[in-house]
Chain A
């Protein structure tokens, strides 16, 4: 193996070899051997004391120039700061993602609780029931075990499905599909919208037209279900 030394290292090596009374080649070999093949007694110490090859020749062969050393130290500082900033940034992002996930789970639960409350009278009378089923992992990237599909079951097998599809949606915090079982092509959207004051509310969207957007309330929901039951349950 041949090593091409830079002129400053070569000069420093020659100078130090002269003071030690050794040929430069022998000194260079000695330095490399000490660095890479430390004796058992000194190995730990050498490794602990010498972090890089840049540090090593500083003591053994007179060192690099102070300006070059300063530049290298500066770059090293910048690199370390950048790595730390990157780690912080991604820690914040991970925190945000977790916060978003928890908010989404809580808001879907709140939605289900509201609906159960709206129809409490009908379920107690036995006219309808509420069931929950599992979301299919394959269809939902941000799948969560803590979120289920809500099914409102009416007599004769008619079912209304509320299927939370996730938070990766344009213009809203999250989305759930709302449809009459067997008629998914005519689904409407339940969108969780964030106000300017960061307050979240559910809206029912039949299309992107402003006239087809409504706050999701007991009234708007019952009106929608009335129409669907009339059309598809023929009652």
Chain B
């Protein structure tokens, strides 16, 4: 279990490391393009549109990399949340097996010859498994009032933001969060430490 926990935290760390690497690559490429705006690589950035050609090349390069940066952040948020979800569900699977055994054993001990205990034969069905929880909103419900309120609010924001991104930033599906990617990572990491 301990090794598994370390493994899941490591995958989350890997996801934020990927973000930082991409961010640095983007920044270095921008610097390179600014240094040599007439190089063939930088030339690929410029559109043939006459209106755009009239604009300052420096500004076009910066705008291009700002747009890339936005995409990198969005992809990495999706990646971090997906990594978190995958690891959480792996943990739910492990927890289900253990809790089920505890419930069955503990309930069995209450059996007496004088009177039966209710639903003894189906006690394990009272334990939630992956099929009952299904998605991150299910995990959130499970954690309500079990983790600090501010952390719970951040989890809610992260799920909303993920939904907003993955459904094409539509107005009625999810909402944008003002949390930065590093704040999201910290919050998910803290939740990992508690579950």
Binding site for B on A (CB under 8 A): 139-142, 157, 159, 161, 165-166, 168-172, 175, 179, 181-185, 189, 191, 205, 207-208
Contacts and interface: CB of A to CB of B under 8 A. Distances in A.
A184 B73 CA distance: 10
A87 B171 CA distance: 21
A165 B176 contact: yes
Interface stretch (B9-17, B118-126, B178-186): B178-186
B23 interface: yes
Contact of A141 (B67, B73, B169, B179): B169
A207 B178 CA distance: 8
18 contacts: A141-B170, A157-B56, A159-B62, A165-B176, A166-B176, A169-B178, A170-B160, A170-B175, A170-B178, A171-B157, A171-B178, A172-B178, A181-B62, A184-B65, A184-B70, A205-B178, A208-B179, A208-B183
B69 interface: yes
A189 B23 contact: no
A184 B59 contact: no
Nearest to B150: A208
B164 interface: yes
A190 B139 CA distance: 31
Interface residues of B, number: 34
A85 B170 CA distance: 27
Contacts of A169: 175-178
Given A141-B170, A157-B56, A170-B160, A182 B62 contact: yes
A170 B171 contact: no
A139 B71 CA distance: 11
Given A141-B171, A185-B73, 17 more contacts: A157-B56, A157-B58, A157-B59, A161-B66, A165-B176, A168-B164, A169-B176, A170-B160, A170-B161, A170-B176, A181-B62, A182-B34, A182-B65, A184-B70, A189-B178, A207-B183, A208-B154
Contacts, number: 70
Contact of B178 (A175, A182, A184): A175
A182 B65 CA distance: 6
B63 interface: yes
Contact of B157 (A161, A166, A170): A170
Interface of B: 23, 26-27, 30, 34, 56, 58-59, 61-63, 65-67, 69-70, 72-73, 154, 157, 160-161, 164, 168-171, 175-180, 183
A142 B171 contact: yes
B25 to A, nearest CB: 12
Contact of A179 (B30, B34, B66, B161): B66
Contact of A168 (B66, B72, B176, B179): B176
Contacts of A141: 168-171
Nearest to B172: A168
Given A157-B58, A184-B69, A185-B73, A207 B164 contact: no
Contacts of B27: 185
A182 B56 CA distance: 13
A191 B178 CA distance: 9
Nearest to B61: A182
Nearest to B57: A157
The 5 A-B residue pairs with the shortest CB-CB distance in the complex, in nearest-first order: A182-B62, A184-B66, A184-B69, A181-B62, A169-B176
